[in-house]
């Protein structure tokens, strides 16, 4: 997706811009379901998973609202504003995913070393079940 928008912004060649459409659509079509699956797979207990399942598509839907105001007829045929914004947001999304993966690896390493075991002290069985992603034995999926 980033490559597609970078091509759309960076060139006037119509053939390259046509190829950019395919790259952008291919990247964008996969990104939403992958982030949703990753987010819900790392959410626990069920209440957190339910909220995550609603919030992620809700944030994604903001893109369609923003697109109405960035792909304006006066910017045709290049649509530099809309493509530049999509390039920026898709690049930012990649950075967020990298930060998320690094955080998950760091947190899983801390849990493996027992640095989160203090969360188990003085809790009843029911409270332990309700810890969800805070439970030291919960492992995030990168």
Q: Which two tokens stand for residue 29?
A: 């079509």
pLDDT of residue 63: 84
pLDDT classification of 64: cutoffs 50, 70, 90: confident
Q: Using alpha carbons only, how large is the chain's radius of gyration in Å?
A: 20
Q: How large is the angle between the packed helices 46-70 and 80-112, nearest 10 degrees?
A: 160
The 10s digit of each residue's pLDDT in 6-48 is: 999 999 999 999 999 999 999 999 999 999 999 999 999 999 9
The 10s digit of each residue's pLDDT in 98-138 is: 999 999 999 999 999 999 999 999 999 999 999 999 999 99
Angle of CA points 27, 31, 34, to nearest 5°? 140
Structural contact between residues 104 and 142, judged by C-beta atoms closer than 8 angstroms: yes
Instruction: Count the neighbouring beta carbons within 10 Å of the beta carbon of residue 130.
Output: 14
Structural contact between residues 43 and 133, judged by C-beta atoms closer than 8 angstroms: yes
Taking the domains of the chain in order of start, what are their residue ranges? 2-103
Q: What is the pTM of this model?
A: 0.88
């Amino acid at each position: 997706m980033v490559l597609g928008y970078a091509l759309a912004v960076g060139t006037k060649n119509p053939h390259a811009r046509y190829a950019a459409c395919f790259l952008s659509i291919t990247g964008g079509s996969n990104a939403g379901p992958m982030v949703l699956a990753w987010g819900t797979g790392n959410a626990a207990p069920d209440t957190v998973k339910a909220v995550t399942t609603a919030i992620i598509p809700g944030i994604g839907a903001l893109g369609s609202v923003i697109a109405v105001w960035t792909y304006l007829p006066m910017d045709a045929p290049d649509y530099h504003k809309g493509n530049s914004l999509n390039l920026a947001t898709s690049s930012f999304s990649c950075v967020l995913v990298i930060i998320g993966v690094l955080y998950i690896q760091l947190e899983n390493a801390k849990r493996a070393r027992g640095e989160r075991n203090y969360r188990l002290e003085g809790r009843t069985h029911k409270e332990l079940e309700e810890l969800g992603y805070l439970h030291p034995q919960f492992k995030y999926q990168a």
